[in-house]
Amino acid sequence: MAVSSSFVVTSKLETLLSNHHNPSSSSPVSLGLIGIRSLPMINRTRRCLIQRTRCEISSSKAASISALEQLKTSALDRYTKERSSIIVIGLSIHTAPVEMREKLAIPEAEWPRAIAELCGLNHIEEAAVLSTCNRMEIYVLALSQHRGVKEVTGWMSKTSGIPVSDICQHRFLLYNKDVTQHLFEVSAGLDSLVLGEGQILAQVKQVVTVGQKVNGFGRNISGLFKHAITVGKRVRTETNIAAGAVSVSSAAVELALMKLPESFSHVSSARMLVIGAGKMGKLVIKHLVSKGCTKMVVVNRSEEKVAAIREELPPGVEIIYKPLDQMQACAAEADVVFTSTASETPLFLKEHVEALPTVGDARLFVDISVPRNVGSCVAELDGALVYNVDDLKEVVAANKEDRMRKAMEAQTIITEESKLFEAWRDSLETVPTIKKFRGLAERIRATEFDKFLSKAGNGMDNKTKKAVEDLSRGIVNKLLHGPMQHLRCDGNDSRTLSETLENMQALNRMYGLEAEILEEKIRAKVQQK
């Protein structure tokens, strides 16, 4: 750009001056000047033109160089001066219908693959997946907020088959401190349908357990989730927020009991069927027992899990195991059917339920699976009542005042813990600069020491060499001590974070460390690819 601008201006100058020297030229400028002005005047005009054109060239060069520099540093501004952002792109029971969430759901076994694919995106450094029946949330550390969100949303669309426009309509986006606040609330059970439910804390723990085996579950994201576990434990201990119904499974049981016809005098008189003996099914069974149910049928792929659950229950509770191929026959004899399997296709469709004999007023289906085990078409039948995880909102309508009080207590804890986490994350900001500055100083020291050895020749004994090298290291360490002290962000001095970051940015500018940090990030992404 600078060359072309200078060339254009210089060419104009040369053309104009050649017209001055050529009286026969038909240029109006040359005719006017030659005809009216004397030769000294022509020379003065020539000098003025040259001077003015030089200014124009200088100005043009400056503008061009400025534009060039902006172009060179655009990536640097984007990836180093703009701090890498923690982002959550999520869909929850509060923002998206179950039909969309079930398509986006990622089984736990697929979390490592998802993390690896996410970190393979151009602007994503770290990632984690939190996928439950009520939410599907992707947490990432992104080099660029806008590009990171765009890439992750595109990945979600590709893996689920849902158009990007539909995902954007129902997703929520949070950045940095808002992400911290959100995950801490999730872990504490404040974002759950049932306030304080304990299952979500176990699911957050599982994210860490799975993520620790995956490279993309990096320091920032793992630190966030580990701190969220601490917050969840502390909230439950200090506020008693988990008193009462504390899981989706318990809410499902509460809902079923609320919807039972009045003809059932007691829960024990209703015939209960539980399909699935996994974590959710096990909790449903235990909550049914706690409500007075002493007999139920459990359908599962194998009997081992059912036998293990049976051993945990009090005496007098009868658990009847049936294999999966007898599911329809069991449903025909049940008043209430709970489904909680990992099946990706519905277990009950309209034609299945139509074939079942009528029981009382209606047969209840309480489906707490995502994807759903009971097709929405079943609800069209007169003899069936179908409820899924979205319907559990009814259960949490009671004791609002008490819930709000406990939530406010929990928020106080979350605010305190959020500050601690943000301080920890801020302390990581200067780590790359410290490493790069130390590395630069060491390279300079080593280079100068090698020069000294080459000049000294072979006559120097090892003891003297070591003494000189120790001397060089000592000088470097003493010179580094001051800058290193002003880059540390451990709260042991009176400096504010902004002062520390200003020191970091000044050091980056003086020694060109930002470029090295960027190159390292890009190199890491290339190696990852």
Min mean pLDDT across 2-6, 82-86, 454-458 is at: 2-6
The pLDDT assigned to 65 comes to: 41
The pLDDT assigned to 375 comes to: 93
Residue 308 in domain: yes
Neighbours of 28 (CB within 10 A): 9
Residue 22 in domain: no
Confidence of residue 64 (pLDDT cuts 50, 70, 90): very low
- pLDDT tens across 408-435, in order? 899 999 999 999 898 888 777 677 777 7
Confidence of residue 259 (pLDDT cuts 50, 70, 90): confident
The pLDDT assigned to 31 comes to: 35
Residue 517 in domain: yes
Residue where a domain stops, chosen among 349, 365, 399: 399
215 in the same domain as 282: no
Q: In one letter, which amino acid is 416?
A: E
224 in the same domain as 157: yes
The pLDDT assigned to 83 comes to: 66
Residue 147 in domain: yes
Integer Cα distance of 30 and 22 in angstroms: 8
Q: At residue 70, does pLDDT exceed 50?
A: no
Query: Residue range 348-366: average pLDDT?
Result: 90
Q: In CATH, what number is assigned to the domain containing residue 350?
A: 3.40.50.720
Residue where a domain stops, chosen among 220, 238, 256: 238
277 in the same domain as 197: no
From 48, 55, 133, 377, active-site residue:
133
Residue 432 in domain: no
Integer Cα distance of 37 and 487 in angstroms: 68
Distances (CA, A) of 395 to 265, 310, 374: 21, 27, 20
220 in the same domain as 181: yes
Q: At residue 180, does pLDDT exceed 60?
A: yes
Residue 120 in domain: yes
* HEC assignment per residue over 68-87: HHHHHHHHHHHHHHCCCEEE
Confidence of residue 203 (pLDDT cuts 50, 70, 90): very high
The pLDDT assigned to 79 comes to: 47
275 in the same domain as 233: no
91 in the same domain as 185: yes
Confidence of residue 33 (pLDDT cuts 50, 70, 90): very low
Residue 442 in domain: no
Integer Cα distance of 366 and 294 in angstroms: 19
260 in the same domain as 196: no
**377 an active-site residue?**
no
User: SS3 of 295, please?
Assistant: strand
In the chain, how many domains are there? 3
What DSSP designation does 313 have? S
Residue 203 in domain: yes
The pLDDT assigned to 66 comes to: 41
- pLDDT tens across 304-334, in order? 999 999 999 989 999 999 999 999 999 999 9
267 in the same domain as 234: no
181 in the same domain as 152: yes
316 in the same domain as 215: no
Which residue range(s) make up the domain with 296? 248-399
338 beta partners: 274, 366
Residue where a domain stops, chosen among 368, 399, 430: 399
